[in-house]
Each structure stands twice: as structure tokens, then as C-alpha cells.
Chains A and B, each alone.
Chain A
Amino acid sequence: MARVIEYIYRDSIIHQLNPLSKLAWALGVMVLALTFNDPYYLLALLISVGLVGLTGRVMKDLSGVMKGLSIFALILVLLQVVFYHGAYREAVTLGIAMGLRMMTVVLSFLVFLSTTQYKDIILVLTEKMKLPYDYVFMFMTSLRFVPTFLNEAIQVGYAQQVRGCPIDSGNPWRKMKAYIAVALPLVLISLKKAERLAIAMETRGYGSNNRTYYKEPIISTLDYFVIFLVVVLIIGAIILRCKGLGVLH
């Protein structure tokens, strides 16, 4: 559980790709997912994303998250069925399409994030895309701290349980009350951590101008190919869509 959106080091071709091409791919997947609403098209897209994840050898690590997501998707389907004004069949199809769409988009970004180092993402966003460094850094750092935070949550849970705090209790009311003992230290730790991070950065010269970079990710032939492929797919999708394929009315 603590492994959500965390860089996972593996020796794979996906890891070696330039962050830009992976980002282009993830955005491309999102465009495709929004273009179509035919469940079959979306399923094919989801499978293709899964194959990319398998090539990146991170699917096993993401399986836990995916399980959670599919439950969420199922709830989406049910909500559609209950609240949709129209034919039952339509409602189910639409619900399934929405669930698949969500899973596809989330999975593609998870694959992107788990195969790409944060520092490389920051680098291409600021240097290549010319986004302001401070904002990129802030955004990426908060993402970076999600797994750390989850891990802290687990540790704090442990520390309270061993003092007899009943967060493992069967009684939901007692359990909820017990969670206060987890939430408070977490907030305190996070505040402390943020403060420490700020100090650590400043003492190492963050904010003095003209930064240089340790290593620039290279753009290889494969990257050009991937970006080319994404562009072709998007154009293809738009053509299909204009012809009325892949969309249900």
C-alpha cells in the first residue's frame, strides 16, 4: 500500500525512455480515453496501457492499487445504473465505459510515475517545457511525499497499537476514536518534515538563481518513435471519431 506513485527501479526499456515521451504517451492515452465511449475501445486501450506497464515490469507493484481502483470503478457502474434516467442497458454500458476510462487514465499515469524519477520529470518540465521551477518543484515534491506519508501513517498506527490503542478493534466507534491517536502525530510529523525540508533546501542554496542540472535525460531514436506513434494514434482517433466509430449515442 505504501508503494503508490513511487519510482520503482527496474531495468526496462520503459524506464530508459525520456520523461517527455512517457508524458506524451500518458497525455495521449488520456485524449484517447476521452475521445471514445465504446467500452470495447476503452477496454482495448486499457489493455494496451497494461502491456506498457508489463514491459516496464511495474504491474506487480501496481496490482494493489489496481484492485482498489476496480472496486471504485464497480461503484461507478452501480451509481450509473441507479441514477441514470434511461434504458437499463444504456446505463450499464455508460457506467462500464466511465469505469474503464478512469482506470485507463489513472493506470497510465501510475506507469509514467513509477518508471520515471522525480528529478527527471522536474527537469523536463522546467527546462524543456519552460514551466516555472518553483511550482514544478512544489507539485512534484508533494507527490513525492505521498508514499512517505502513507508509510508514516503505518508506523504511527503501529506505535499506537503497541500502547493498546484499539485501532484493530472490531467495534467501528472505538476504532474511529482510536484513529485520532494516529491522525495527530501524522500532522505533527508532516509539519516538522515540511519545516526541515525548507531548511535543508535553503541551507543548500535553493533559490539562488541559475541552477544547473546533474544529468540531462537524452532523447533517443526510440523517443522520437514513441512521440510519433502517439501523434499518429491521436490523429487516427480523431478521424475515427469523426466517422462516428467508437462512440455510442
Chain B
Amino acid sequence: MNPVIKIDGLSFGYEFGDSVLKDIYLEISPGEMVALVGQNGAGKTTLVKHLIGLLRPPAGKVRVADLDVANTRVSKLSRQVGYVFQNPDHQIFHDTVQAEVAFGLNNLGLPREEVEPRVTAALSDVGLEHLANENPQRLSRGQRQRVALASVLALRTPVIVLDEPTTGQDYQERKQIMALVEQLNKAGHTIVFITHDMSLVAHYASRVVVLCQGQIILDGDTREVFRQTDKLAESLLLPPQVTVLANQLNEPLNTSVSPVILSVDEMQEYLQRVREVKRNGAGD
């Protein structure tokens, strides 16, 4: 399948600084759910800004949905790529939640009969339908973040980029947001999300890209990436505790065949299997 995102040797530095991205190659196929992780200042936000033209790549270096980002308007790219910012206050300005969410749809020129159901759907997706007529300025920060999220999700773009969508959310909301993102992914949207929360990565991402000082140092299946604890440690990243525990228990064995455990449930299942094997072994 043709990749929906194709980055071909992208390097970048801000006007007065050192280089922030160094020779990035990345291909993402339609329907993938990719987590982009790395330390503060690794260049994650800088990288994803190139996907929607907020930072202009040189011609031919970044293609999204068959558009060359270098010479496509942001407002045109926004039909293909949805982008949720770290700070919701940069976009919120209407005086009802509803109007805020409708803004993007109106920009796309959708007729009213289509805007309304989409707004309602997006709001109920993020669990804010009861606040539809509230003024966003009176909501909590976590709620405003979900307004921002809804206003992008309502656009139903094939690609959705989320820059730390769950910061400042409590456990319940975090799970709700990620479940929603997962559901969108299952419906065919390609997702790229940035996060510092490794348990979210373990739970939701099928692929992990690790950025370290502007370079991709690991890129692969979530289990494969979490197996490489040494490499991850370079970026001061620690897989979820249960994964670390499993890796350590497996250390005396041949690690390349023993499974990488991503959740407590998997661990439990694994231990049960080991116990059964042992019991059977003891029976001989």
C-alpha cells in the first residue's frame, strides 16, 4: 500500500539555533497508529509541524496524502490532516462549545444540515455533549483540551496528528480520549500521537518511533521497540513497569524469542502458561 505519510531525508533547524531534525526518513501507511516519543526538546513537535505545513519542508521531502507539503496551503492540507495542539487556548475563541467545534466545518464550507450532526457526534465522542452551550472559557483546562480535540475530530480527516492529547487529563479522561482515538483508527484513520506516557504507548500504539536529539533511533513494532531497553535508556525512556519486569525475568533466557509483555493482563496470561508448562514438565 502507498504510504500516506512519506518523509524523505528531512533536516531542519530554527532560524537562529542548532539543527533540530537530522535526516529523518519515515513512512507511515494508511491505518497505522504510531506513537512518537522522546525526551523534552527531542524535536517531536517540530517534526509533526512539517506534516501540515506549519513548518515548510524543502520541496519533495514531505508528502502527505499525495500532496507535497512544501507547496500546499495549510488550509488545504487541513482537509487531509487534523492537528490537535498542545495548548487548547490557541484556538478557542467562540463563546459556545458548539460554535467552537463547528468553526472548522464551516471553514470547509459544509452545509448546515451536515455541520450539526457532526458537531453533536464529536462532542458526544469526547463526552462534552452536556456542555454544548457552555462558554469554553468557563471550562476546566482538561475540558477545554477536549473541546479542541472535538473541533479537530469533527473534520474527519484521513490523518490525525495529536500533540500530547492527554496531558492534564485524569485517568478516566485519558482512557476515554485514547479509546476514542483507537476507535477512529479502527475506522481507518491514520493516527500519529505524541506522548510521554509509556503505558499509553504500550496499550494503544502498534508502532513506536523514538526521536532522540532530532534523530530517529528506534522505529518499529511496539513490542520490538520495548524489547530494546538499552537503546530506550539513551532517551531516558522506560517501558511500562510490567514490561521491564518481564524483560528482566526473561533475561537469563534467550530474549529474542521470549515475548515482550505490554500489560498486566498479558503478564498474568504468560505466567499462567509458564506455570502450566512447569506443571506438565513436573508430571513427566
Instruction: State the A residues within 8 Å of B (CB).
Output: 3, 60-61, 152, 155-156, 158-169, 181, 184-185, 188-189, 192
**With contacts A3-B16, A192-B89 known, is A163 near B73, CB below 8 A?**
no
Cβ-based interface call for B69 (8 A): no
- Cβ 8 A contact of A163, one of B49, B54, B137, B152: B152
Cβ-based interface call for B271 (8 A): no
Contact across chains for A159 and B91 when beta carbons are under 8 A apart: yes
Q: Provide the residues of chain A in CB contact with B83, threshold 8 Å.
A: 162
Instruction: State the B residues within 8 Å of A (CB).
Output: 16, 49, 52, 54, 73-75, 78-79, 81-83, 85, 87, 89-93, 103-104, 107-108, 137, 151-152, 155
How near does chain B come to A166, taking the closest CB pair, in angstroms? Answer: 5
- Cβ 8 A contact of A156, one of B79, B81, B90: B90
Q: A156-B90, A162-B85 are in contact. List 6 more A-B contacts (CB 8 A).
A: A161-B74, A162-B81, A181-B103, A184-B93, A185-B89, A185-B92
Could you list some 8 contacts between A and B, CB below 8 A? Answer: A158-B85, A162-B54, A163-B91, A164-B108, A164-B155, A165-B103, A169-B75, A188-B93
Q: Provide the residues of chain B in CB contact with A159, threshold 8 Å.
A: 85, 90-91
Interface centre among B52, B79, B81, B93, by most chain A C-beta atoms within 10 angstroms, is B93
How near does chain B come to A2, taking the closest CB pair, in angstroms? Answer: 9
How near does chain A come to B119, taking the closest CB pair, in angstroms? Answer: 13
Interface centre among A60, A165, A167, A192, by most chain B C-beta atoms within 10 angstroms, is A165
Bound form: Cα–Cα A166–B78 in Å: 10
- Cβ 8 A contact of B74, one of A168, A181, A188: A168
Specify the main secondary structure of chain A where it touches its partner.
Answer: helix
Q: Provide the residues of chain A in CB contact with B152, threshold 8 Å.
A: 162-163
Q: Which residue of B lies closest to A167 (CB)?
A: B75
Contact across chains for A166 and B89 when beta carbons are under 8 A apart: no
Bound form: Cα–Cα A169–B89 in Å: 23
How near does chain B come to A189, taking the closest CB pair, in angstroms? Answer: 6
Contact across chains for B107 and A165 when beta carbons are under 8 A apart: yes
**With contacts A165-B75, A185-B89 known, is A158 near B107, CB below 8 A?**
no
Q: Which residue of A lies closest to B151 (CB)?
A: A163
- Cβ 8 A contact of B104, one of A155, A164, A169, A185: A164
Contact across chains for A185 and B75 when beta carbons are under 8 A apart: no
Bound form: Cα–Cα A165–B83 in Å: 13
Closest 5 interchain pairs by CB? A164-B107, A163-B104, A159-B91, A184-B93, A159-B90
Q: Provide the residues of chain A in CB contact with B74, threshold 8 Å.
A: 158, 161-162, 168
Contact across chains for A161 and B54 when beta carbons are under 8 A apart: yes
How near does chain A come to B74, taking the closest CB pair, in angstroms? Answer: 4
Bound form: Cα–Cα A156–B89 in Å: 8
Q: Which residue of B lies closest to A61 (CB)?
A: B16
Bound form: Cα–Cα A147–B49 in Å: 21
- Cβ 8 A contact of A152, one of B54, B73, B90: B90
How near does chain A come to B191, taking the closest CB pair, in angstroms? Answer: 16
**With contacts A161-B54, A162-B74 known, is A189 near B82, CB below 8 A?**
no
Contact across chains for B93 and A162 when beta carbons are under 8 A apart: no
How near does chain B come to A177, taking the closest CB pair, in angstroms? Answer: 11
**With contacts A163-B78, A163-B155, A166-B75 known, is A188 near B137, CB below 8 A?**
yes
**With contacts A3-B16, A168-B75 known, is A163 near B107, CB below 8 A?**
yes
Q: Which residue of B lies closest to A193 (CB)?
A: B89
Bound form: Cα–Cα A235–B207 in Å: 72
**With contacts A164-B79, A181-B93, A185-B90 known, is A158 near B54, CB below 8 A?**
yes
- Cβ 8 A contact of A164, one of B54, B75, B92, B137: B75
Q: Provide the residues of chain A in CB contact with B89, threshold 8 Å.
A: 185, 188-189, 192
How near does chain A come to B97, taking the closest CB pair, in angstroms? Answer: 15
How near does chain A come to B39, taking the closest CB pair, in angstroms? Answer: 22
Interface centre among B52, B79, B91, B104, by most chain A C-beta atoms within 10 angstroms, is B91
Interface centre among A162, A165, A169, A185, by most chain B C-beta atoms within 10 angstroms, is A162
Q: Provide the residues of chain B in CB contact with A162, threshold 8 Å.
A: 52, 54, 74, 78, 81-83, 85, 152
Bound form: Cα–Cα A191–B151 in Å: 23
Bound form: Cα–Cα A189–B92 in Å: 10
Bound form: Cα–Cα A164–B152 in Å: 10
Q: Provide the residues of chain A in CB contact with B87, threshold 8 Å.
A: 155
Bound form: Cα–Cα A164–B103 in Å: 9
Bound form: Cα–Cα A159–B49 in Å: 11
Q: Which residue of B lies closest to A192 (CB)?
A: B89
Contact across chains for A161 and B78 when beta carbons are under 8 A apart: yes
